[in-house]
Chains A and B, each alone.
Chain A
Amino acid sequence: GAGVSQSPSNKVTEKGKDVELRCDPISGHTALYWYRQSLGQGLEFLIYFQGNSAPDKSGLPSDRFSAERTGGSVSTLTIQRTQQEDSAVYLCASEASGGPGKNIQYFGAGTRLSVL
């Protein structure tokens, strides 16, 4: 695709429900990142996938958060038993493994999650 695509763009859920957020990276990009951005704050790293390597999950805030990346392409971030403090914009980025795009992360527009 032309860019990183995220869906849904907005998600409103009730406290305690599970949510799934989807990310379609740029075709051919081997690295994929998830970040969280709370209102007025910078981006907070959540998780990183690189090819077939084990993901770096060091940024996940609790065991309610998990992510997978199927076939080295699409990724899903799942939040179980959502809490109000989970409300934020969840951003996905992808990165090429080499060439002029290496070390540059291309972001999607994000999913705005609101937990009521």
Chain B
Amino acid sequence: SQKIEQNSEALNIQEGKTATLTCNYTNYSPAYLQWYRQDPGRGPVFLLLIRENEKEKRKERLKVTFDTTLKQSLFHITASQPADSATYLCALSLGSGNTGKLIFGQGTTLQVKP
């Protein structure tokens, strides 16, 4: 069966450390993968997109890797801050012919402690 899985347990880290979140998938061949941030009571906000032919993407303190052999994406936040505390969702897009609909993981909640 097709599955997309993220760390189900909350991730607690100390301010200033690097947070690493994992997204694993099975039986999909995504054209690209995205990471979103969701705060309580709000809709998800786009952070980064990485395509199947890209290994790594960076944006400020954020870094995403995409390994299509392992079927895994890692999301890193360096020099983490309490304001980074939120739920982070990974989402797959199967690309053209499958519309732009996204298949989401259940999310990982990150708590950064001062």
Distance in angstroms from B87 CB to nearest chain A CB is 10
**Residue contact B46 to A105, C-beta cutoff 8 Å:** yes
Q: Which residue of B lies closest to A106 (CB)?
A: B46
B44 proximal to A (CB < 8 A)? yes
**Residue contact A42 to B43, C-beta cutoff 8 Å:** no
Chain B interface, DSSP helix/strand/loop, else mixed: strand
Segment at the B interface, from A11-19, A43-51, A65-73, A80-88: A43-51
**Residue contact B99 to A43, C-beta cutoff 8 Å:** no
Q: Which residues of A contact B104 (CB under 8 A)?
A: 35, 42-44
- Report which residue of A42, A43, A56, A108 has the largest number of chain B beta carbons within 10 angstroms of its beta carbon: A42
Among A41, A107, A109, contact of B41 (Cβ-Cβ < 8 Å): A109
Separation of A48 and B106 alpha carbons in the complex (Å): 20
Q: Which residue of A lies closest to B106 (CB)?
A: A42
Interface residues on A, range: 20 to 34
**Residue contact A107 to B45, C-beta cutoff 8 Å:** yes
Among A50, A91, A93, contact of B99 (Cβ-Cβ < 8 Å): A50
B59 proximal to A (CB < 8 A)? no
Distance in angstroms from A33 CB to nearest chain B CB is 6
**Residue contact A33 to B100, C-beta cutoff 8 Å:** yes
A4 proximal to B (CB < 8 A)? yes
B17 proximal to A (CB < 8 A)? no
B residues neighboring A (CB under 8 Å): 4, 32, 34, 41-46, 49, 89, 91, 93, 99-107
